[in-house]
Amino acid sequence: MVDLAFGPEPGKRPAASDPHLAYLAMVRQKRMYSALMLVLLAFLLATGFHLAEGRNAGGFLNGLPNLGAFPSEVLSEAWTERANLPGLAIEHLPSLIETINIAAVSTLMGGLCAAFLALLSTRGLAPFPRLTPVARRTMDGMRALPDVVIALVLIYVLGGGPIPAVIAISIHTSGALGKLFSEAAENADLKPVEGLTSTGATWGQRIWLGIIPQVAPNWASYLLMRFEINVRASAILGFVGQGGIGADLKVAMQWGTGKYDQVVAIFIILFLTIVIIDRTSDWLRTRLTKGAQHG
Amino acid sequence: MADASMIPPSLAKQVETAFERRKLMSIGILAAILAYLIYAAISFDVMGVASRARMDNAKNLLSDFWSYKVSVVRDNRSGAITAAIDGDQRYAFAPDWVKTTGDVTTVDLGGGNVVTYDAQGARYVIPGYGTVDIVAKDGKLSFTAPGATPDWISASDSRISVSTSVGRFIYTKSKVETQRFFPGWELFFFTFDSPFYGKSFGELTALALWEPRIDPDQSNYAHMQHDFLTNSMWHHGDVLWALFETLLMAFLGTFTAALIALPLSFLAAKNMMPFAPLRFGIRRVFDFIRGLDALIWTLILVRAFGPGPMTGALAIMMTDTGLFGKTFSEALENIDEKQVEGIRSTGANSVQRARFGVIPQIMPILMSQVLYNLESNTRSATVIGAIVGGGIGLLLTQAIGTQKDWEDVAYYLILIIAMVIIMDWLSGLIRHKLIKG
């Protein structure tokens, strides 16, 4: 790691006549720059918040005391109705499963698409080297599109249901995973590929037997990480668009008082699911990457 | 071949069974994935989508993305003829392909497609098909076509519509409308009420740089800028402001989160905080904040602070504080202790050790993480903006909600993609510089 506060710039050497003074001057200069950057950042943050507060419906200081009001209102109602919570949680399980299914299917499909795009855009592996920039720009574009937007447009065309959400998250996943996949593939050892080429293997065989076994642990770990993100994304998609636990949450929130026990039940199962998935995937990922290190 | 004979048969067998097992395992995984996808396809009702899909909606949407329409409307009661872009009376004009003589109006759609409005009703001459003749009598529409009615013509007593490749024709009791499509986004730069409408790029440059002022009170360049930003059809000024608001949300959220998480992460790192219960407590707080998800934070914050960009910034701040707390404390645990030791040997106190021994080591990792999140938060800010009602996300969901302003949707999408790609590129550039030093 580079030390930002000390250490000469590459190519620039302190004056040899008095190294002590030259060093102190350099440190002073670097510190001044860092201090200036900090002041600038503080200034930007302050003006930015001022501006954003001006555009907000409620001010920061007015809202601060209310921060606890909504959660406590929700929680107190849920507490008086706490006997309902387990029943409500079970009632919302099917939509939770739908949300998880949307995330899983789109991770799988996006992952498949990402693998192809990654192989097309990796130097040394691409079957058509001239097309690598095209594949890369495609991935950039797919990554840049927010999934909610694609989903909303698709709902207009395809009608409701989980399919628009699956397509939307898949598109974003392909772009995001494609980049990570191709970075992993770039670091793969090309010797097995050369060996396979010498035996007359086709492109598919070279990739399947030479590259996939090398990158599989990394790719699987990225897939798991993406799945975590996609579960959250599909919950948000449900809230903005349609389908799954997000839609249930929106209905319950819009109803307001009287359905807060439902809101809490949904929060609880969503929170638990996210924590469980995070933990499992964390554990699996360390196993995958550690296993790869041992060979 | 001599080598092969040297492998003991038991080992060869072992290797073979191991290979066999791996092969079976990979086939098993693929089969499981396939079975899961089939289950998902059934539970998602993929077959039903085909029947629910509205291909006409898709067609409208795509044509709006790259073209605009001019509507020529006759009010059947007053007989008044108007031609306007997108059917909006603010953008009425007189196209040269519409000719009115007396009470007969001809609309030339090009390629031999001619629509005629007259006192009895209207006629549409379609090349390769014939003439569709509509006569309005006693409040009923009678319709004559040369052959069987194809599926691009729909006709009833009160409404007749014909869609061809060059345009659309709709006859109802109250009015008759012909829509002709043109490629491009009309009035994108200047509307009709601007003196700069219809000028070429060269003319505009000349006007801006050396030609005399059109409006004596302001320079041509300022005038142009004003007319462009206040364009009443595309609202460029509002859109640019919304984009800025989205970036602002991402910037404020990410950097405030980093500033809050940095001191807290010292308390959560094993080598910095010897008191285990506090460390454990802080870590669980980070986990809780991260686990509670941006959606839930957004909903809670909207109730307290009302809709707007500040709420969005705070929502991003909340989730990122949890994330940064975790990554920063991991970075702290991986530092090289020798530098801290060296600083300690000079008699430095703990703040000085942190400042000179620790911060310089973790700064590049921190900055790279913050920049990476800034980029990904630009995208999230669009989505959060749709929920909290701020920035380009709000404009986008509103435009999608009208279900007809798809050209606006396309415009916003292009801007969002450009913004995210630029942020991606910028953050990549700075990260590269930071890590290389």
pLDDT for A216-246, tens place per residue?
888 888 898 899 889 888 888 888 777 788 8
pLDDT of residue B159: 83
The ipTM, to two decimals, is: 0.77
A5 and B356 within 8 Å at the Cβ level: the answer is yes
Q: Kindly report, residue by residue over B353-386, the tens digit of the pLDDT.
A: 888 888 888 888 888 889 888 988 988 888 888 8
Which residues from chain A sit within 8 angstroms of residue B379, using beta carbons? 144, 146
Digits of tens for pLDDT over chain B (437 positions)?
A: 445 556 778 888 888 898 888 889 889 988 999 999 898 888 888 777 777 777 777 777 787 777 888 888 888 888 788 888 877 777 777 788 888 887 788 888 777 788 888 888 888 888 888 888 888 777 777 778 777 778 788 888 788 888 887 788 888 888 888 888 887 777 777 777 777 777 777 777 777 777 777 777 777 778 778 888 887 777 888 899 999 999 999 999 999 999 999 999 988 888 877 888 888 888 888 888 887 777 788 888 888 888 889 999 999 999 899 889 988 988 888 888 888 889 889 988 888 888 888 888 888 888 888 988 898 898 888 888 888 888 888 888 888 888 777 888 888 888 988 898 888 888 888 888 876 65
B383 and A253 within 8 Å at the Cβ level: the answer is no
B304 and A1 within 8 Å at the Cβ level: the answer is no
CA B269 – CA B279 distance, rounded (Å) = 7
Tokens of B127: 């090349």
Q: DSSP assignment, residue B92?
A: B
Of A10, A144, A249, the CB nearest to B421: A144
pLDDT averaged over chain B? 83
Question: B42, B245, B295, B316: which to substitute to probe chain A, counting the most A Cβ within 10 Å?
Answer: B295
Tokens of B152: 């691009």
Nearest-Cα distance to chain B for A273, in Å, is 9
Nearest-Cα distance to chain B for A239, in Å, is 8
Using CA coordinates, name the residue in chain B closest to A241. B397
Q: DSSP assignment, residue B18?
A: H
Which residues from chain B sit within 8 angstroms of residue A158, using beta carbons? 49, 52-54
Which residues from chain A sit within 8 angstroms of residue B290, using beta carbons? 278
Using CA coordinates, name the residue in chain B closest to A66. B304
CATH of segment(s) A84-293:
1.10.3720.10
Nearest-Cα distance to chain A for B154, in Å, is 21
Contact B33, A109 (CB under 8 A): no
Q: Kindly report, residue by residue over B170-211, the tens digit of the pLDDT.
A: 888 888 888 888 877 777 777 777 777 777 777 777 777 777
Which residues from chain B sit within 8 angstroms of residue A98, using beta carbons? 43
